[in-house]
Amino acid sequence: MAYQHQFSDDSTFEYPLGKVVCVGRNYAEHAKELNNPIPSSPILFIKPATTVTPFAEAIVLPKGKGDTHYETELAILIGQKLTAADANEVEAAIVGYGLALDLTLRELQSELKAKGHPWEVAKSFDGACPLSAFVHPDAIKDPLNIEFTLKINGELRQHGHTNEMITAIAPLLAFISQHFTLMPGDVVLTGTPAGVGVLPTGAKLEAELESVLHIETTVK
């Protein structure tokens, strides 16, 4: 099934999926676990719409390209155009919160980084962004401290709180909008906490956003 935006309460969203803007190393402990320096400003890259697949459907790993790593991230659905916005303007543009996996061909990414090349072929393959349904902003108790988790085969692997972000949600969206326009239907992935690793074939995944969103899926 092709991906289309939806909310967990089955309400609809009129805009189609646009681009997915991703943020690298937005949690200090994740940067440390990969022996990367902590950035002084957000590291941005884009996944095209062709990377997105429904999170609840089975994840199909690419063949013959080395290990695929999972990175669980809070996803933000944009509902208003943002161009050169400031942090006080972005809250009204957030129409949903969800969860995503930023799937990464880690060995290939490391090779590209060593050569000073862009990461896209390691991050933007078809199916590289499983994306959940969204919950409305009023379902989130504290947008400054959103909790999310990932379990693999029942074992907790990632546990994030957005108050641990290097760049928080509002200034992050404002920063992105200073460089390129965010449009209704775009999605922003806000970075991953520590605990990333290889996504094994046959695994069962359970992802949870606070107590308002729960996703289960398997890996092919």
pLDDT per residue rounded down to tens, the chain (220 residues):
678 999 999 998 989 999 999 999 999 888 677 777 888 899 999 999 999 999 999 999 999 999 999 999 999 999 999 999 999 999 999 999 999 999 999 999 999 989 999 989 999 999 999 999 999 999 999 999 999 999 999 999 999 999 999 999 999 999 999 999 999 999 999 999 999 999 999 999 999 999 999 999 999 9
Q: Output the CA–CA distances (angstroms, integers) from residue 210 to 8, 128, 139, 173, in the order listed.
A: 14, 24, 10, 22
Do you know the residue count of the chain? 220
Position 81, amino acid: K
What residues does 215 pair with on adjacent strands? 207
Question: What does DSSP assign to residue 165?
Answer: B
Q: Which residues contact 147 (CB under 8 A, 6 or more apart)?
A: 159, 160, 161, 209, 210
Q: Residue 88 CB: number of other CB atoms within 10 A?
A: 9
The C-alpha atoms of residue 79 and residue 98 are separated, in whole angstroms, by 14
- Domain-wise residue ranges, the chain: 39-126+137-218
DSSP class of 88: T
The fold of the 39-126+137-218 domain, in CATH, is Fumarylacetoacetate hydrolase; domain 2 (3.90.850)
Buried b (16+ CB within 10 A) or exposed e, 182-220: bebbbbbbbbbbbbbeebeeebebbbbbbeebebebebe
What are 209's two structure tokens?
């956003």
pTM of the model: 0.96
d(CA 29, CA 107): 20
